[in-house]
Structure 1
Amino acid sequence: MLNKKAFLDVSLGKLRSIRLYVIGDVRSPGIFTVPALSSPLQMLFYAGGLRKTASLRNIKVIRNDRVIATLDFYEFLKKGKEFSNVRLQTHDVILVPTATKRVTMTGAVRKPAIFELKGKEGLIDLIALAGGFKDNAYIENILVDRYLQNKEHKLLSVNFKRLKSEHENFPLMDGDVISVPTMNRDAQNFITVNGPIYGPKKFTYYPGMTIKKLMSEIDSLRGDAYLQRVQITRTLPDLRKQLYSINLAELLKSPTADFPLAPQDQVNITSSLTLFPPDSVIIRGAVNKPGTYLLKKDMTLKDLIFEAGGFRKDALITEAEISRIFPFRPGDKNKLARIIHVSIDSNYTKNLISSEDEQFFLEPFDNIFIRRNSDWELQRNVTIQGEVQNPGTYSLKNKTERITDIIARAGGLKPTAYLDGARFYRAHEGVGQIGIDFKEIFKNPNDPQNIILQAGDRIVIPERMFTVRVAGGVNFPNSVLYQKGKGVGYYIKAAGGFTDLADKGNITIKLANGKQFQPKRFLFWKYLPEKITAGSTIYVPVLAEKKEIDWSGAIRDAAAIMSSIATTILIYDRFVK
């Protein structure tokens, strides 16, 4: 038997198209061929949207020269209405006119903006479009700023509360600016509590409220709250302030006594730590964290040293010095402090339990000094490099070791060592290179140049050198092979001689060991106080560039001066005669 169910399969092949006109205040007016099911909103989209001057509430659909529908775009914005009930046909015209009545809404409304009004819509309708008032809006004096016929400017005041009660509306005009002010009144039904309390600091005032009732609403008082004097600041009707002081501790104990409060009272509870700041002590010297510390109850010297991180490695752990102020006593005005010495040792802070003689209790403003052991210090290391048997870093054995001593500890000099070029550097306080004649100190270790070494000193013993460097005002600055016994002139000549701007009188020679000197003069002879050695540097300073003399100009100026002098003499001679 055949199944009695029947099925119908319908497929849509192609929608027919229609031609529509979109004109007026749109961005791209014109003729559009669109699907037959297009809506007026879609046509506005095809036309590029509305211009700023376009009306949103009076869009017309015209068919056969008759207006068949008037669209209010606010309906779409407020309710999502797409106007699907308006079925468009071929040759329909959608006209977007220019808005004729726009007003500006500002102030305490939920959606301040520029709105378009139509027909007889007034202030009440505008407030509804703007979403209503905010909670702090002052609606009894809404201001309307209006221009009349390009001649008159007025500011109108509207009582919105009265409008609503009398079921009236306030007509608006194109260009009106409506401003809803806000209330500027401060809340008055509260009490403020300032100071050391836990929990909120503002409380709602109610008639009959007292200080005891307020204290029952506070979470809790901090331990440092000073209740013997609590100040209450009251705002009077003329906004002046009046101050009351109460003993809150006594009031809370009393079964009957109380203090009435008023709106906007400020209850100020002071911290006892502010009124009576905690005492402190100071520890200085060879401890890991010197400084000022809070003096705690029953705090001992051992407690303070422990809190200060214990002794430094260089601490003189034999005794601590305590400076203690004198209480004021008549007749002892010249005394400043009492000095107390307390015996200590390396185990002073390690033992938890103190004996009675170790329990030195501190007092306010004590100054504790832990002296430094001047004989304790880290190793003093020096470095020796170059042509010695065992170069490297060495620790000084004592405070009197000298250059030759440390070289001897390094195994002495190698045969290739060049003492004329040996250099000495001192890092302490950034001294740098010191010129020392190493040959001389090896011949005579008692020579003053054989200085006592310090931490960070560095000695460099180079190999044999073979050149002398010539720099500065010479024609070919370079290094010249060393020739024993030759003087400055030989090396200057080997470097091409002096330039025209060379300062020949201020030549400086720096030896390889760092010593510097200049040629000296005796009568008509120049001589060198020390011999030039291999590795030395000869520097010739350069003068500033000489300016050429304009002889023709100089002669001309001299002739003019002589002529002026002659004229002056002639005039004087005639005047005298």
Structure 2
Amino acid sequence: MKKILITIFVLIYTINVWAQLMPFNSPINTANQGTNGIYQPKSPSKSARREVIYAPKERVTNDSISNARLSSIQKANELTKSDTAIINLRKKIFGYSIFNNKGGTFEPNLKIATPQNYVVGPDDEIIVDINGYSEEHYNLIVNPDGFVKINKIGNVYVAGLTIEEVKARLIKKLSTIFVGLKKAGTNMSSTNLYASISLGNIRTVSVTIQGEVSFPGTYSVPSLARVFNVLYLAGGPNENGTFREIQLIRHNRVISTIDLYDILTQGYSKNDMLIHDQDIIKVGVYKSRIELKGKVKKTGIFEVLPTEKLDFIINNFAGGFTEDAFKDKVKITRFTNTERKLIDLNADVLNSFLPKSGDIIQIDPINFDRFENRLEVIGEVFRPGVFSLENNPTLKKLLQSAGGLKENAFVGRINIQRLGDDLNPQSISVNFTDLMANTSKDIPLKREDKIYVYSKLDLRETYTVTLHGEINGTRETNKDKNKQRTNITNSENIESPKDNLSGNLESDVKDLDVSTNRAVNIDGTEAVSEISEELKSNNAANSLLNRQVKLTLPFIEKMTVEDLILKGGGLRESAATGYVEVVRRKKNTSIDNKDLINSQIAEIAKFSISKNLELDKSSSTFELEPFDEVFVRSSPNYELQQFITIKGQVFYPGIYGLEKKDERISDILSRAGGLNRQAFPEGAKLLRISQISESEKKQKTEQLAEIQDNFSNVNINKEKAVVSKHETIGIDLVDALNNPGGVNDLFLNEGDILDIPREPQTVKVTGEVLYPNSVKFTSSFGVKDYISQAGGFTSSSARKRIYVLYSNGSVKRAKNLLFLRFYPKIAKGAEIIVPQKVKVGSTSQQIVSIVSVLTGTVTSIIGIITLIKATAQ
């Protein structure tokens, strides 16, 4: 009994398993029912993204073609200059750039639903899904013989059939094993059985493209590719290829003719068909081309059909005229059998004109400088500019639209410039006063009239006044507060204490740097100094004169001297208000009386002004006239501070201000506390700023240059000799201190440097000695003794020209008396300088010179003897 039960259980289990494996006995899958009870098929169990099935050899070939195409495009962009014509031609051809850009790709879309007219062939994959009360999934690959193999059914031939025909045939075959099988989409429910058939991975087809293309040849492309996709792979039509008549040849006959302009201009083409295996695409030579230039939205070379009118070409291919195109006249250049000719087309015949191949059609722009209703107002009105003739038909109306005349307008004559009927310019003058008083008729205007309203100020010389001397300068700010014009003169002359202490005292008199302040004339140029730079001197006595400037300002009616000084920034404290001069032009208003003509060239007025420029009883009432020159002098007792520097061995070294014009060395040393114990008064020296003007420097340079030219053996450093900022003055400080006010107690000047060294213990030997160095001072030693301490003379030493430079700056040289030579006495801190011999010339030259001298002497003696004998007879 137990064995029977086990046998029955195994049998039931086996039947259930077999029922699940057999499609026609599988139970209904309720999981595929929707909420409304309608059956929803399951998705394929092996769904995947559709791909193109390439054979390995096809993949390598396609990759090589793509790489070759990109390389060819790169090379085409890098053609030599000899191929410039080809490059320019390709750039002009409409549509050429679409097929020859490196960025875009025109690959077939593999995600689209399978086209109904798609023809199945070898290597295509057909996906079959059966859903309902039984489920099954098939991935069927079409073999090279055109069959697909289905289990329990066998081979089914599908090659050459459309996808719709394949669906019908497969359902018919599958219905033999799936009872009641229907096509998906017709009365679907969970109790029926349905088949869904679609195209999976697709095959490649071989297509040949020939003719005038950039890269002709045979290509392996996806079976969903169209003619346009293959054209892109081949680089599109070349410079000679047609865009309007591309033929698709299948089984030795033309089945479609594609016009690429439909795709380029409208985005689609009804004749762009799917490619079949062994198709041929033929691109012929273009038949007719024209070129559009100028004011159209897309210029270039267009291929036209014999029936296409020029108006259609411009609007559909070139995008139409631009806004600034001159449409009334189109110019055409046409080739004849022997030459070229020009054709002018009116706008009304564009829709009937048929262009010929080679025509160059030029659309010119309108005249931008020409207006059909323009009027222009120029000059002294509040709103000058251009106006329309319709709204301003007369002169009075136009001037009202321009805001009216300004206060400075010259109303006695307003000028209208007009182009006459004979194209000659005309001038019409109008008195605006009479026009406003209605004593003269209003002037009707014409297009392109220009109305000039002049200024009273333009009809007279620009009136100015000039201010000289001790003024501060003025700061003027413009209306928008964005800019500042600042007028200031050069400031007071002082030396930098830091420079004085360091010993690098500058010779030039410096100006105080006041930020952003500069003296500016009426024309915006910088105000100039009263005296030229060449004549300026650094002498402290000229410091007030050096800083005075000349400032030119606009003239204003009833302006007084005080008013002018206020505009000039006010007076400096150095100004002398009791002595102001005004120099006025001499004006001879009449020449009838010859007695009025004399030698006077100017009128000069002298008077005092208020020190604080206030309007009080002391103010002047002198009114200025155009071109007056006002001079504000310096106060005679006013002086700028002057400073000198004391360096070295004093109790209080530093910068000292001079108290008096005649202050001496002894006075300033007394203020400095006198000499300390280390001081060496015998070596004190005075450095003084070189008081030389630019003109004197120039003259001195020319003199030194002349000396050097005349004496070839003289070498002068002209720059150092002329531009030297200081000169050393040898002083006897011991005598100056012992005899205050004596000859050696010199007056001090601005910028002087009094240098008092420490007592030296050595004597320096330099120049043409064997070992230049410093030697310990010995009171019993003479010049030769010190030179011996330095190794003695060299072969090029000029012994006769030895000189000694003392520490106080004085110099003494050796003196020769007959055959005796007297050397200067040596003091502490002195420097013995042995110069180098100057080579006059070679030995042979010296011999020739001596012989010449002797010959001349002998000749002279013979002449004298002859003369004596002749006299004695």
TM-score over 0.5 for the pair: yes
Residue number in structure 1 paired with 2:640: 378
Verify: 1:434 aligned to 2:622, yes or no.
no
Aligned equivalents of 1:59, 1:467: Cα separation in 2: 111
Aligned equivalents of 2:662, 2:464: Cα separation in 1: 45
Residue number in structure 2 paired with 1:397: 659
1:8, CA displacement in angstroms? 4.3
| Alignment deviations for residues 469-511 of structure 1 (CA, whole Å, 9 cap, x no partner) | 4444444444444444545444444444455555555555433
1:423, CA displacement in angstroms? 3.4
Residue number in structure 2 paired with 1:360: 621
| Alignment deviations for residues 94-138 of structure 1 (CA, whole Å, 9 cap, x no partner) | 555565644433334343323344555565455343333454436
RMSD: 4.0
Match of 1:236 among 408, 417, 420: 420
Paired residues of 2:331 and 2:363 also in contact (CA < 8 A):
yes
Residue number in structure 1 paired with 2:559: 299
Residue number in structure 1 paired with 2:457: 273
| Alignment deviations for residues 389-415 of structure 1 (CA, whole Å, 9 cap, x no partner) | 111111112111222322222111122
Residues 1:420 and 1:92: Cα distance change in structure 2 (over 3 Å): farther
Trace 1:22-171 onto structure 2 (pairs within 5 A).
Answer: 23=209, 35-38=222-225, 40-43=227-230, 46=233, 55-81=242-268, 86-94=273-281, 99=286, 101-118=288-305, 121=308, 123-124=310-311, 126-128=313-315, 129-134=317-322, 135-137=324-326, 140=329, 142-146=331-335, 148=337, 152-161=338-347, 163-164=349-350, 167-171=352-356
Paired residues of 1:103 and 1:177 also in contact (CA < 8 A):
yes
Verify: 1:523 aligned to 2:818, yes or no.
yes
TM-score with structure 1 length normalisation? 0.79
Match of 1:344 among 591, 609, 617: 609
Aligned equivalents of 2:398, 2:804: Cα separation in 1: 92
Return 301-310 or 61-70, whichever deviates more.
61-70
Residues 1:94 and 1:411: Cα distance change in structure 2 (over 3 Å): farther
Aligned equivalents of 1:66, 1:440: Cα separation in 2: 132
| Alignment deviations for residues 10-29 of structure 1 (CA, whole Å, 9 cap, x no partner) | 64344233245575566655
Aligned equivalents of 1:252, 1:181: Cα separation in 2: 46
Aligned equivalents of 2:452, 2:418: Cα separation in 1: 11
1:197, CA displacement in angstroms? 1.2
- Which structure dedicates a bigger proportion of its chain to strand? 1
Residue number in structure 2 paired with 1:316: 576
| Alignment deviations for residues 167-208 of structure 1 (CA, whole Å, 9 cap, x no partner) | 2313223xx444344566944644333221122433334699
Residues 1:540 and 1:319: Cα distance change in structure 2 (over 3 Å): closer
1:454, CA displacement in angstroms? 2.0
Residues 1:503 and 1:178: Cα distance change in structure 2 (over 3 Å): farther
Trace 1:468-487 onto structure 2 (pairs within 5 A).
Answer: 468-484=763-779, 486-487=781-782
1:253, CA displacement in angstroms? 0.8
Aligned equivalents of 2:792, 2:287: Cα separation in 1: 99
1:363, CA displacement in angstroms? 3.0
Identity of aligned pairs, percent?
29
Secondary structure in structure 2 of the residue aligned to 1:371:
strand
Aligned equivalents of 2:815, 2:336: Cα separation in 1: 101
| Alignment deviations for residues 232-285 of structure 1 (CA, whole Å, 9 cap, x no partner) | 333233333333332121121116633344444332221111124564433222
1:522, CA displacement in angstroms? 2.4
Residues 1:30 and 1:386: Cα distance change in structure 2 (over 3 Å): farther
Residues 1:435 and 1:177: Cα distance change in structure 2 (over 3 Å): same
Aligned equivalents of 1:105, 1:125: Cα separation in 2: 13
Paired residues of 1:109 and 1:137 also in contact (CA < 8 A):
no
Residues 1:363 and 1:463: Cα distance change in structure 2 (over 3 Å): closer
Residue number in structure 2 paired with 1:417: 679
Aligned equivalents of 2:649, 2:580: Cα separation in 1: 51
Return 391-400 or 313-322, whichever deviates more.
313-322
Verify: 1:221 aligned to 2:408, yes or no.
no
Paired residues of 1:140 and 1:161 also in contact (CA < 8 A):
yes
Secondary structure in structure 2 of the residue aligned to 1:225:
coil
Secondary structure in structure 2 of the residue aligned to 1:78:
helix
Paired residues of 1:512 and 1:537 also in contact (CA < 8 A):
no
Unaligned runs of 5+ in 2: 1-29, 54-203, 474-549, 692-723, 849-873
Residues 1:85 and 1:363: Cα distance change in structure 2 (over 3 Å): same
Paired residues of 2:799 and 2:834 also in contact (CA < 8 A):
no
Residues 1:262 and 1:168: Cα distance change in structure 2 (over 3 Å): closer
Amino acid at match of 1:144: T
Residues 1:358 and 1:60: Cα distance change in structure 2 (over 3 Å): same
Residues 1:16 and 1:506: Cα distance change in structure 2 (over 3 Å): same
Aligned equivalents of 2:205, 2:793: Cα separation in 1: 101
Paired residues of 1:300 and 1:361 also in contact (CA < 8 A):
yes
Residues 1:133 and 1:14: Cα distance change in structure 2 (over 3 Å): closer
Q: Look at both structures and tell me which one has the larger radius of gyration over its CA atoms.
A: 2
Verify: 1:461 aligned to 2:648, yes or no.
no
Aligned equivalents of 2:678, 2:375: Cα separation in 1: 95
Paired residues of 1:62 and 1:95 also in contact (CA < 8 A):
yes
Paired residues of 1:319 and 1:345 also in contact (CA < 8 A):
no
Residue number in structure 1 paired with 2:362: 179
Aligned equivalents of 1:499, 1:49: Cα separation in 2: 95
Aligned equivalents of 1:163, 1:411: Cα separation in 2: 112
Residues 1:466 and 1:106: Cα distance change in structure 2 (over 3 Å): farther
Paired residues of 1:192 and 1:201 also in contact (CA < 8 A):
yes
Aligned equivalents of 1:484, 1:475: Cα separation in 2: 23
Secondary structure in structure 2 of the residue aligned to 1:316:
strand
Residues 1:96 and 1:483: Cα distance change in structure 2 (over 3 Å): farther
Residue number in structure 2 paired with 1:573: none
Number of matched pairs: 541
Unaligned runs of 5+ in 1: 555-577
Aligned equivalents of 1:81, 1:472: Cα separation in 2: 102
Verify: 1:257 aligned to 2:416, yes or no.
no
Aligned equivalents of 1:34, 1:542: Cα separation in 2: 101
Verify: 1:452 aligned to 2:712, yes or no.
no
Residues 1:416 and 1:209: Cα distance change in structure 2 (over 3 Å): same
Aligned equivalents of 1:318, 1:248: Cα separation in 2: 51
Residues 1:92 and 1:368: Cα distance change in structure 2 (over 3 Å): same
Paired residues of 1:123 and 1:172 also in contact (CA < 8 A):
no
| Alignment deviations for residues 345-374 of structure 1 (CA, whole Å, 9 cap, x no partner) | 43334xxxx345636152313433222113
Match of 1:202 among 386, 391, 398: 386
Residues 1:162 and 1:546: Cα distance change in structure 2 (over 3 Å): same
Aligned equivalents of 2:573, 2:208: Cα separation in 1: 95
Aligned equivalents of 1:155, 1:226: Cα separation in 2: 57
TM-score with structure 2 length normalisation? 0.54
1:340, CA displacement in angstroms? 3.8
